[in-house]
A = this chain, B = another copy of it.
Amino acid sequence: MEKFGLIGRLIAVPGKRDELAALLLDAAAAAESFDGCELYAVHVADDDPDGVWVTEVWRDAAAHQASLQLESTKAMIARGRALIAGFGESRKLRTLGGKGLS
């Protein structure tokens, strides 16, 4: 059963990467209760001092879209504004399957 995947890179305000990563880990914790969210993984890279990467898999695009309407998500986005300088790579994917997915 095909799912909805996302790869995104957020660009932190210089010096705020780790704070932004911590916020996204809070978002991942909140996503524990989101219907249809299977993966919300937060990454950094040693060769990318301002980048925070998120790889996601959702049951479908609608489940992802619904999560964006939640008050908790809106509050998270508001908290992030002061930490985010911009958005880098952003890729919508059709997730075909694999290990680690239901």
Residues of A within 8 A of B (CB): 5, 7, 21, 24-25, 28-29, 31-32, 37-47, 53-55, 57, 89, 91-101
Q: Shortest CB–CB separation between residue A13 and chain B, in angstroms?
A: 18
Residue of B nearest to A52 (CB): B96
Give the docked Cα–Cα distance between A53 and B93 (Å).
8
Given contacts A53-B7, A55-B7, whether A45 and B96 have CB atoms under 8 Å apart is: no
Residues of B within 8 A of A39 (CB): 39, 41, 98-101
Q: Shortest CB–CB separation between residue A96 and chain B, in angstroms?
A: 5
Q: Shortest CB–CB separation between residue A58 and chain B, in angstroms?
A: 11
Residues of B within 8 A of A47 (CB): 92
Q: Are the CB atoms of A40 and B100 closer together than 8 Å? A: yes
